[in-house]
Amino acid sequence: ARGFDLSEDTLMRVAVFRTGDRSYRFVWSFHHIVMDGWCLSLMTDEVFGVYAALLENKQPELAPVKPYSDYIEWLEHQDAQEATRYWSDYLAGFEQQTLLPTENSQASEAEWDKDSDRSDQSSHSGYVLEKLPFMLGKERSAALKQMAKQQHVTINTLLQSVWGVILQKYNNHQDVVFGSVVSG
């Protein structure tokens, strides 16, 4: 609940709480910049594998690792012009614009504005910007996690795929292009 301040905090915290005579809770908090869903399972497998070995008075066996600097070095040697050429060729001929419906297009204002407060909304190019918070609940969250796991993708990739299908349906097109804006 405390969160992390990137400018001041250690980006990983571990705490062990005794909850009974022979029971404990292990709480491992970290910022997403340090670990994501892919490496979390690798890290927990390794940490608890070491723990299990130590409980049995055995020497933990860890697989050799490559330093992150190897990946950065590989990344720096990639040809940016070749990557640009690849994506330009891949997207060649794609000229349709991927749009969302506006209030004046496919849906009436009543359909889009059920019980919403417009006091803090801004409009851009006919679109209404608003936040619609909702809770998925434990069952739907578990189902999404299971689906992502079965497909060997992250929840983020799964949700972006769903977003692509939604855009495909709204635009009545086979192909959809969308992205995100990264500000520096």
**Residue in the structure block whose two tokens are 């990946």:** 71
Tell me the mean pLDDT per 10 residues along the chain, length 184: 86 94 92 82 89 95 90 93 92 81 51 41 58 90 93 88 89 81 52
Distance between CA atoms of residues 106 and 171, nearest Å? 10
The full length of the chain comes to 184
pLDDT at 106: 47
Q: In the numeric block, which tokens belong to residue 2?
A: 């405390």
| 17 contacts 25 by C-beta, under 8 angstroms | yes
pLDDT at 174: 83
pLDDT at 179: 76
Residue 47's nearest CA partner among 18, 20, 14, 24 is 14
Taking the whole predicted model, whether its pTM rises above 0.75 is answered as no
